[in-house]
Amino acid sequence: MNKKQKKMLARIIISAVMLIVLHFIPVTGIAEFVLYFATYLIIGYDILKKAGKGILNRQIFDENFLMSVATLGAFILAIYEQSGDYVEGIAVMLFYQIGELFQSYAVGKSRKNISALMDIRPDYANLERDGKLQKVDPDEVEIGSIIVVQPGEKVPLDGIIKEGTSTLNTSALTGESMPRDAREGDEIISGCINMTGVLKVQTTKEFGESTVSKILELVENSSSRKSKSEDFISKFAKIYTPAVCYSALALAILPPLVQMIFLNVPAQWDVWVYRALTFLVISCPCALVISIPLSFFAGIGGASKEGVLIKGSNYLETLSRAKYVVFDKTGTLTQGVFEVSGVHHNEIENEKLLEYAALAECASSHPISKSLQKAYGKEIDRNRVTDIEEISGHGIVAKVDGETVAAGNSKLMKKLNIPYQDCHSVGTIIHMAINGTYAGHIVISDIIKLHSKEAVRELKHAGVEKTVMLTGDAKSVADQVAASLGIDEVYSDLLPADKVTKVEELLNLKQDSEKLAFVGDGINDAPVLTRADIGIAMGAMGSDAAIEAADVVLMDDDPMKIAKAIKISRKCIRIVYQNITLALVIKFACLGLGAIGIANMWFAIFADVGVMIIAVLNAIRALRVHNL
C-alpha cells in the first residue's frame, strides 16, 4: 500500500471502531449527534470536499455529489424523525470508502506491470572523460559518442558495441527471462540491463529517438486511446447521473403531493425522502465508471509484462474481433536467415558464380544479398564493382571487373530478354547472367521459425477463421512453406505495393464486424501495417518503423505471441462485457426495488459498493495472462 492508501485504511478503522463504541455508549441528544457526525466527517470529509469543488466548477453530477446528498440526507432525516439513528449515513460512507480503497489497490496492482516496464527509463549515461567516468543525462549524449555500460546498469541509448562482451537482460522489453549474449560489433538497444561484462558502446541515436523512448511514449499514450466501450460508459455516465438525480428529486416530491392533493391523505414526506435517498445511493455508477477502464488497463498491463505492447484500449478491442490474420513471410514466419543451399552453373565454376553474385549484390542490405556474401566467404572489394542499378522487385544489374552481371529473379531475366532455365528447387532462386548470357542460378533457402506451425494452430484455437500469407517469393517456395505451416491461403510473387493491394482486397471480402490483422517484421511492412484493421509488428526491438506504424508491438521474434495477444484481448473484452451486464442488471433491478420501498439503505450499500467490489475483482482477472 502507498501512503495515501494507508491513510485511508486508518480512517476506515477509526470510523468503524467509533461506530462500534458509540453503539454501546448511552449518549443522547446533541452529544449523540456531535459524536456521530464527527465519525461521519472522519470517514467522509474528502467526499464532501470533492462534491463542493464539483458544484463550484459547475460539474455537479458525479458519484461524490450522489454520496454526499444521500448520506447528509440520512442525517437530516434522523434529526427530523428524532430517532437518533445516524448509523445508516455513516455506514453508507464507510462502505463506499472501503470500496474506493479496494479499487485503488486494484488499480495499483494492474499499474505495477506497466510501472515495471517504465523502470527501463535510464537515469544516466556514463561518458569517459580524462580517464574517468562521468554520469550525464542521456539527453545530453550526442550521436557517435562512446558510452560505458557497467554490470547492473541499464543501457541508456541505442548503439553498437565497440568493446567488451556481456549478457543482456531484456525481460522488461520482451517478457522473456532468458538473457542474450552480446559482443563487439553487435547492435544494442536501450532499455536492456547489462548483467556481466563492461561494454563500450558507440551511440547511433539520440535519447529522444531511442528504442526506450519510443516504447515509453507508446505506453504513456495508451490510456488516451479509448475503446468504444469506454466511450459508451463516459457518455452513459454523463446522461445517467443527472437523470437519476432528477428522478430521486421527483420521487421525494411528487408522491407526497399526490397524496395531499388527489388522495386527500397526510403526505408521508419522511418515507418518500428516505426512498429518494436510497435511490441515490443505489444509482451511483461506480461499478461501471471504475471497472471498465480498469479492465482495459489491467489487460494492457498484463500484456506488457509478456512483451506485447498495445497502443490503446481501442486497439485491444479491435484485436479481440480479429477473424483474419495475414502474415508477411520473411522475418515473421521464417527467421529471415537465408543460406545458400545450391549452386547450379552452365559454363562457369561454382566459386566464380558465387563471386560474381556477391560482388553484384555488395551494395544491398537485403538478407539475400548478405547470404550471398556470406557464402562467398571472402572480403568484398567494392572497387571491382561499378554502375550498380537496383530494379525493385526484380534484382540487380552491375558491372564486375568490366563485365555486365545481372542477378535476380525470373522477372529480371524476362526484362533483359535473357533465356533462362526453370528451377523447381524449394527456395529463393537467384538467376545469373553475364554479358547477356545465362550463367546459372543459386538456390537460397529461408529457415522456418521453431514455433511458427504451432502458432498458426493456436490462432485457429483462438477463433481466427482464416490465415493468409503474403510473400515476394516464387509460388513454389510460398506454397511449400504455407503447406508445412497449415496456412489457409497464400499469395506469392508480390511487390511491396502488391501486398497493400492484396490486404485491401481481403478487407473488402470480410464482414464489418470481423477485423483483419496484419503481422509483419516492421522494417518494410509499414504501409500494410497501417492499412490493416490492426497492425502487429513482430520482433520490433530497435525498429522505429514497427513502433510507429503498428497498433500492437511484439517485442521478440516468437510467433506464439500473436495468438497470446489475441487471447489477452478476448479475455479482457469478455470481462468488460461481464461487468457492464452485471452492473446494469443489478443497478436497474435495485433502483426499481428502492423506488417502491422494498430496498432500504443497507440494501443500497450492497447495490453500490458490493457490485463495485465484484466488478473490480472481475476486472483484475485481466492481469492473469501468463497461462493463456
**Residue-wise burial string across 130-154, b where 16 or more C-beta atoms lie within 10 A, e elsewhere:** eeeeeebebeebeeebebbbeeebb
Residue 431 near residue 407, CB atoms below 8 Å = yes
Contact residues for 349 (Cβ-Cβ < 8 A; gap 6+): none
Q: What is the C-alpha to C-alpha distance for residues 296 and 462, in angstroms, rounded to an integer?
A: 19
Residue by residue, DSSP assigns 248-311 as HHHHHHHHHHHHHHTS-S---HHHHHHHHHHHHHHH--HHHHHHHHHHHHHHHHHHHHTTEEES
Compute the average pLDDT of residues 174-193.
Answer: 80
- pLDDT at residue 270, as a whole number: 85
Compute the average pLDDT of residues 492-509.
Answer: 87
Q: What is the C-alpha to C-alpha distance for residues 183 and 170, in angstroms, rounded to an integer?
A: 15
**Which comes out higher in pLDDT, residue 288 or 7?**
7
Indicate if the pLDDT at residue 246 is higher than 60.
yes
Share of the chain above pLDDT 70, in %: 91
What sign for the dihedral angle of Cα 131, 137, 138, 142? Answer: negative
Q: What is the C-alpha to C-alpha distance for residues 574 and 391, in angstroms, rounded to an integer?
A: 50
Enumerate the H helices of 119-210 as residue ranges: 171-174
pTM (2 d.p.): 0.69
Task: Show contacts of 252-259: CB within 8 Å, 24+ apart.
Answer: 252/276
- pLDDT at residue 330, as a whole number: 79
Indicate if the pLDDT at residue 490 is higher than 90.
yes
**What backbone phi and psi angles, to 5 degrees, belong to 401?**
55, 35
Compute the average pLDDT of residues 587-602.
Answer: 83
Residue 184 near residue 164, CB atoms below 8 Å = yes
- pLDDT at residue 7, as a whole number: 92
Q: Which of 155-169, 422-436, 519-533 has the highest mean pLDDT?
A: 155-169
Indicate if the pLDDT at residue 512 is higher than 90.
no
What mean pLDDT value characterizes the chain? Answer: 84
What sign for the dihedral angle of Cα 88, 91, 97, 101? Answer: negative
Query: 3-state class of 49 per DSSP?
Result: helix
- pLDDT at residue 178, as a whole number: 65
181 is catalytic: no
Compute the average pLDDT of residues 213-239.
Answer: 69
Among 309, 292, 290, which residue's Cα sits nearest to residue 301? 309
Residue 517's pLDDT band (cuts 50, 70, 90): very high
Give residue-wise pLDDT tens across range 1-39.
Answer: 778 888 999 999 999 999 999 988 888 888 889 999 999
By the 10 Å C-beta count (0-12 exposed, 13-18 middle, 19+ buried), 91 is classed as: buried
Q: Which of 43-57, 294-308, 544-558 has the highest mean pLDDT?
A: 43-57
Task: Show contacts of 510-515: CB within 8 Å, 24+ apart.
Answer: 510/323, 510/324, 513/321, 514/321, 514/322, 514/323, 514/324, 514/465, 515/318, 515/319, 515/321, 515/322, 515/323, 515/324
Indicate if the pLDDT at residue 439 is higher than 80.
yes
Residue 616 near residue 289, CB atoms below 8 Å = no
Residue by residue, DSSP assigns 445-462 as EEEEPTTHHHHHHHHHHT
Compute the average pLDDT of residues 135-152.
Answer: 91
What sign for the dihedral angle of Cα 301, 302, 303, 304? Answer: positive
Give residue-wise pLDDT tens across range 299-322.
Answer: 888 888 888 888 888 899 999 999
Indicate if the pLDDT at residue 277 is higher than 90.
no
Residue 404's pLDDT band (cuts 50, 70, 90): very high
- pLDDT at residue 15, as a whole number: 94
First to last CA, the chain: 29
- pLDDT at residue 207, as a whole number: 86
Q: Which of 30-39, 148-157, 585-594 has the lowest mean pLDDT?
A: 585-594
- pLDDT at residue 455, as a whole number: 94
Indicate if the pLDDT at residue 350 is higher than 70.
yes
How many other C-beta atoms can be found within 10 angstroms of the C-beta atom of residue 79?
A: 11
Compute the average pLDDT of residues 135-155.
Answer: 91
Catalytic residue among 328, 446, 533, 556: 328
Give residue-wise pLDDT tens across range 613-627.
Answer: 888 888 888 888 877
**Which comes out higher in pLDDT, residue 170 or 456?**
456
Q: What is the C-alpha to C-alpha distance for residues 222 and 240, in angstroms, rounded to an integer?
A: 27
Secondary structure of 341-410 as H, E, C letters = EEEEECCCCHHHHHHHHHHHCCCCCCHHHHHHHHHHCCCCCHHHEEEEEEECCCEEEEEECCEEEEEECH
Among 451, 456, 454, 459, which residue's Cα sits nearest to residue 557? 451
For 526, the grid coordinates are 509499414
By the 10 Å C-beta count (0-12 exposed, 13-18 middle, 19+ buried), 609 is classed as: buried
Indicate if the pLDDT at residue 215 is higher than 80.
no
Q: What is the C-alpha to C-alpha distance for residues 547 and 539, in angstroms, rounded to an integer?
A: 10
Residue 560's pLDDT band (cuts 50, 70, 90): very high
Q: What is the C-alpha to C-alpha distance for residues 99 and 613, in angstroms, rounded to an integer?
A: 6
Residue 472 near residue 525, CB atoms below 8 Å = no
Indicate if the pLDDT at residue 113 is higher than 60.
no
- pLDDT at residue 118, as a whole number: 53
Which residue segments constitute the domains of the chain, with CATH numbers given?
125-156+158-204 (2.70.150.10), 315-333+450-566 (3.40.50.1000), 335-447 (3.40.1110.10)
Residue 161's pLDDT band (cuts 50, 70, 90): very high
Q: What is the C-alpha to C-alpha distance for residues 157 and 199, in angstroms, rounded to an integer?
A: 13
**Which comes out higher in pLDDT, residue 189 or 452?**
452
- pLDDT at residue 290, as a whole number: 73
Compute the average pLDDT of residues 326-337.
Answer: 84
Q: Which of 116-125, 172-181, 297-306 has the highest mean pLDDT?
A: 297-306
- pLDDT at residue 218, as a whole number: 66
Indicate if the pLDDT at residue 219 is higher than 70.
no
